[in-house]
Amino acid sequence: MSDFNPTILAFCCNWCSYAGADLAGVSRLQMPPNVHVVRVMCSASVKGEYILKAISQGVDGVLVLGCHIGDCHYMTGNHRTAKRIPVVQKLLKDVGFDERRVRLDWVSAAEGEKFQRVITEFVEEIKGLGPNPVREVMS
């Protein structure tokens, strides 16, 4: 399992976490290459269906990164996200997936190092869980 490189989908809010990702890149911080970043205007625009579809199509883990609570460009978007993600995690658990395959975190535009740490930790956690069971069915 040591050669397993998980496929990670990271939804990043335009105003904070995407800018944090950019800062991490500009700062030349080493990051796992298997994280695919999707820029969204707000973490609240990441619907549960998007996450469930990604997992059902074989993505090993989904990371949702948004502005810190109280710093949302759209005022309360991250509050909605903070309520939504635990529901998605419960749905995953109810259908037999490990809820740790979905993670929510807050990364500001000035936190390039935190962005690097969060995605590196998440990749390592998903490596520990192993491949998405859907992959075996699809093979």
Consecutive 10-residue averages of pLDDT for the chain (139 residues): 87 97 96 96 97 97 97 95 98 97 98 98 97 83
Q: What is the pLDDT of residue 135?
A: 81
Q: What is the pLDDT of residue 132?
A: 96
Helix or strand run (H / E) with residue 122: helix 112-129
The contacts of residue 114 (CB under 8 Å, 6+ apart) are 20, 107, 108
Q: What is the pLDDT of residue 2?
A: 61
Which value, in Å, is the radius of gyration of the alpha carbons in the chain?
A: 14
N residues, the chain? 139
The correct CATH number of 8-138 out of 3.40.50, 3.30.60, 3.30.70, 1.10.3470 is: 3.40.50
Give residue limits of the domains in the chain: 8-138
Cβ 101 vs Cβ 48: under 8 Å: no
Q: What is the pLDDT of residue 1?
A: 46
